[in-house]
Amino acid sequence: MTTVDLPLLPLGRGTDLSAERGVECPGDLPAASDPELVARALAAKAALGDRVFVLGHHYQRDEVIQFADVTGDSFKLARDAAARPEAEYIVFCGVHFMAESADILTGPDQQVVLPDLAAGCSMADMARLRQVEDAWDAMTEAGVAGSVVPITYMNSSADIKAFCGRNGGAVCTSSNAEVALEWAFGQVPDAKVFFLPDQHLGRNTAVLKMGLTLDDCVVWDPHRPNGGLTVEQLRDAKMILWKGHCSVHGRFSPEVVDDLRATIPGVQILVHPECTHEVVLKADLVGSTEFIIKTIEAAPAGSSWAIGTELNLVKRLAAAHPDKRITFLDKTVCYCSTMNRIDLPHFVWAMESLVNGTVVNRIEVDPQTEHFASIALQRMLDLPGKSHKD
Ligand code: SF4
């Protein structure tokens, strides 16, 4: 059966708390022009002391990340939160699926707060549970579901992680996607992987790391009958890729790579595996956010880099390494608009509310979803070898 999904809600309007999409964020926010915002944030943080632990994703604005107790990628931050059981409140400066993961990995008495509920993730939003279950039904009807192992990228909603946990699958990050695919292909004879929700990470890992061909990969389009695939295509495929992508990393183009190589002598192209296969093929180095940061930190003075990842991070890297020439791999400004929803007024509002004894914007995963999502996360933690950073 194929269902038509609802159109995306405009950011900041409407209510759909079960989704990653934008929802309204009611609250008596301070004015963005208030010159006391920084002082108010500092005062609230001091008043809460060890009761609060503030997490800041690498893609967050400078105005917010200055208040983070730790910075990192989504999985590192969730684990950092789990390692602070004494913190009553976890204020997650990131997006909705990250706060869900933090809630899953922290104790029942810890409350996770997302300062703006409209901070979703367009990629995570591209895979809704009902759509994924329809695809699974089609695979069952085609007689292939028994050999399909679902793997979801960390950047997915908790109910998609739970779907994978219920159906013998696991979660992966951009650092361990290769190990996760190796594990999945070893689970059943003639295994196929159903990879959610980022087709680019799935394709780049399968083709460039696992030695599969592009012909081994098919794309399931949730907006077309039967995913736009024939039964034969489903039976022949080794990778069934969900038609999802990151709206930030999907913008980088092979043409800009060519332009930069022509204009910056010796430039090295460093991109995230959420970029398209065409861009990744033209890059010198491909890796997770943490890999990108470590590569720039280790780069020699005078070296030139064009980086294909979110702009807040690229700007911070450029500022921290003035001895290296660091360029953004796009001609236009390209922030993650949902990450940028977390601004100083929302942060101050969330923190001052906690000081006043009110928990606003709590992100809480229901127990059944948490149970199965934890199974998928644990399978990832049990993978051998490589780190689990994204
Ligand atoms: S950068 Fe892409 S994957 Fe990350 S939160 Fe933004 S839209 Fe989602």
3 pLDDT above the threshold of 80:
no
Q: Considering the domain boundaries, does residue 91 fall inside one? A: yes
Residues 142 and 224 both lie in one domain: yes
Task: Find the mean pLDDT for residues 302-330.
Answer: 95
Residues 162 and 303 both lie in one domain: no
361 pLDDT above the threshold of 90:
yes
Quick one: which atom of ligand 1 is closest to the CA of 246?
A: 2
Quick one: which atom of ligand 1 is closest to the CA of 310?
A: 1
Q: Considering the domain boundaries, does residue 10 fall inside one? A: no
230 pLDDT above the threshold of 60:
yes
Residues 105-116 have pLDDT tens digits of 999 999 999 999
Closest CA to ligand 1's atom 5: 121
Residues 318 and 258 both lie in one domain: yes
Quickly state the pLDDT bin for 26 (edges 50, 70, 90). Answer: low
Residues 56 and 205 both lie in one domain: no
Q: Can you give the pLDDT at residue 28?
A: 81
Q: 310 in ligand 1 pocket by Cβ < 6 Å?
A: yes
Residues 241 and 99 both lie in one domain: no
Q: Are 213 and 238 in contact (CB under 8 A)?
A: no
Give the amino acid at 55: L
> CA dihedral defined by 47, 48, 53, 58, rounded to 10 degrees?
-40
Q: Are 88 and 106 in contact (CB under 8 A)?
A: no
Residues 205 and 162 both lie in one domain: yes
Task: Find the mean pLDDT for residues 133-143.
Answer: 97
Quickly state the pLDDT bin for 323 (edges 50, 70, 90). Answer: very high
Percent of the chain with pLDDT over 70: 91
Coil, strand or helix at 225: helix
Closest CA to ligand 1's atom 6: 336
CATH number of the domain bearing residue 52? 3.40.50.10800
pTM for this entry: 0.90
- With the most atoms of ligand 1 within 8 angstroms of its CB, the residue from 93, 123, 274, 289 to mutate is 123
Residues 66 and 144 both lie in one domain: no
Q: Report how far residue 147's alpha carbon sits from residue 235's, in angstroms, rounded to the nearest whole number.
A: 10
Q: Where are the alpha helices (DSSP H) in the chain?
A: 37-48, 62-65, 74-82, 96-105, 122-125, 129-141, 158-166, 177-185, 199-208, 231-236, 254-263, 277-282, 289-298, 311-320, 344-355, 367-381
Q: Can you give the pLDDT at residue 24?
A: 64
Quickly state the pLDDT bin for 25 (edges 50, 70, 90). Answer: low
Closest CA to ligand 1's atom 2: 246
In the reported structure, the alpha carbon of residue 201 is separated from the centroid of ligand 1 by a whole-number distance in angstroms of 13
Residues 77-105 have pLDDT tens digits of 888 988 999 999 999 999 999 999 999 99
| Cross-strand bridge partners of residue 46 | none
Phi first, then psi: what are they for 59, rounded to 5°?
-90, 5
Q: 246 in ligand 1 pocket by Cβ < 6 Å?
A: yes
Q: Can you give the pLDDT at residue 336?
A: 87
Closest CA to ligand 1's atom 3: 246
33 pLDDT above the threshold of 80:
yes
Q: How many structural domains comprise the chain? A: 3
C-beta contacts of 254-257 below 8 A and 24+ residues apart: 254/278, 254/279, 254/281, 254/282, 256/329, 256/330, 256/331, 257/282, 257/283, 257/306, 257/329
Q: Are 260 and 211 in contact (CB under 8 A)?
A: no
What's the chain's average pLDDT? 91
